[in-house]
Structure formats: C-alpha cells, structure tokens
C-alpha cells in the first residue's frame, strides 16, 4: 500500500512548497506528485499518470479539496470512483470529507430488525447516506465557486476599467516596444550597410541573434521613420 501526496498549482509562477510541506508534516513517507495545471479539469497529465498506478489500499493526500478538483461535478464523480476502487483520500483542510469519514457514515447504518419498523430505519439510513454525499459535493462546489468568483471579479474589473475610459490590454494596431527591440534597431541604424554602416544583413542578424523576419521588420520600421538609406551591398 503506497501513500502519495498530490500537489497542484494553476501556473508555474505560483509556489507549491507550502502544499508539500503540509503533506510531509503528516505523511513523511508520502511520494509527492507535483503539477502546474488548472483544477477546472481532471484531465491533467501528472494526475492521470498517478490515477493509472493507484490500486486498492493506496492513499492519496491533498492539502485541500481544491487541489483535487475545482469542478464540482467532475470532482465528486472522481471521489466516488476512487472510493469504490478502495483508494483512501485524505484532505488536510477538510478531514470531514476524507473517505474514512464517508466509510464510517456508510457502515453506520442502522441494522434491520425484521419488524414493521424497518421501513423507518431504511429511510434514516438513506438520509444518512445522502447527507454524507451532500457534504462531499458541497466541498467541491465551494472549490468551484472560488474560481468562478475570481473569473467574475476579473470580468467586472475589466468592465469597470473600460467604463472609466481606461485602456485594457494593448491598443488595436499598436506595436509592443521593448528595450531589446530598441537596442537592436539602434545597432542596425548604426552598423547596417543599408544605413551607411559596414555590416551586411547576415552579419547583423548573427550579431543580434534574432530571426531574419525580425531583422527585416526592424529595418522596415527604421526606413518608415526616415532613416537615411545608403547603398546596400
């Protein structure tokens, strides 16, 4: 029986260290699986690799339910799939939905008596099962709500900026100017034979380490700005 710790961040710019540290604190021997991928889909490369090797009796530890999935429907379906395969799931921040807790709810059913009151007990047992499942669904729904709220706040922020007359993103038709492109154009204007310098196009491209397309685009922009054109050899 193996213990895995699954740690996920949405982008490579985020830090995954906290999740690893939290899992290792409670499960020092856990084999850590790391992934930088959105939680809105369960079709994640590293997760799928882990899913394929899991077997009955194995344990998967998550720092929180949102690390497993931010899609409520897919997350709950995956939870039930792993539970029925005998995989133990642990959520450090939501222990109330660990599979062990779910198992206790299922095994805590009231035994039938063979009398007329059994129909009442059956109703109570069915209610307890639905309640346990509802708790798990709510956890995944909350994880999805967090990302939905983030998307909504971003959308509203953009709309507010536009209403206030602020430019959002690059203007249509505008050219992105970088320090690298400025320096490259200065070099071309000074050294290219086109503008009276001593270097050929091939030599300029090699020196600047840029693609021919980029080089000729810069030359075109320089000509458009009125740089003096000399004899090209």
Cβ proximity of 65 and 94 under 8 Å: yes
> Residue 216, CB half-sphere, CA atoms under 13 Å: how many?
4
Question: What is the four-CA torsion angle of 75, 79, 80, 85, rounded to 10 degrees?
Answer: 140
User: pLDDT tens-digit profile of 117-153?
Assistant: 666 656 666 655 566 677 787 777 877 777 677 668 7
d(CA 117, CA 83): 31
Average pLDDT over residues 18-32: 96
Residue scoring higher pLDDT (169 or 212): 212
pLDDT tens column, 35-68: 998 888 878 899 999 999 999 999 999 999 989 9
How far apart are the two ends of the chain, measured CA to CA in Å? 73
- Write down the pLDDT at residue 232: 40
């Amino acid at each position: 029986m193996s213990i895995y710790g699954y740690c996920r961040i949405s982008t490579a710019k985020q830090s995954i260290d906290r999740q690893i540290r939290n899992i290792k604190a409670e499960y020092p021997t856990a084999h850590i699986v790391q992934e930088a991928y959105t939680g809105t889909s369960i079709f994640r490369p590293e997760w799928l690799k882990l899913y394929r090797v899991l077997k009955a009796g194995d344990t998967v530890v998550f720092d929180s339910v949102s690390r497993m999935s931010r899609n409520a429907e897919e997350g709950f379906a995956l939870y039930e799939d792993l539970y029925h395969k005998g995989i133990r799931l642990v959520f450090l921040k939501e222990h109330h939905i660990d599979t062990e807790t779910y198992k206790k709810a299922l095994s805590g059913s009231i035994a039938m008596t063979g009398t007329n009151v059994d129909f009442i007990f059956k109703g109570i047992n069915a209610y307890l099962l639905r309640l346990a499942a509802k708790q798990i669904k709510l956890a995944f729904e909350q994880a999805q709500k967090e990302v939905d709220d983030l998307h909504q706040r971003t959308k509203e922020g953009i709309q507010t900026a536009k209403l206030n007359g602020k430019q959002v993103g690059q203007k249509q038709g505008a050219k992105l100017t970088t320090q690298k492109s400025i320096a490259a154009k200065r070099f071309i204007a000074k050294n290219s034979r086109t503008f009276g310098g001593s270097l050929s196009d091939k030599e300029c491209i090699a020196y600047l380490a840029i693609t021919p397309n980029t080089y000729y685009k810069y030359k075109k922009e320089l000509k458009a700005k009125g740089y003096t054109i000399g004899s090209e050899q």
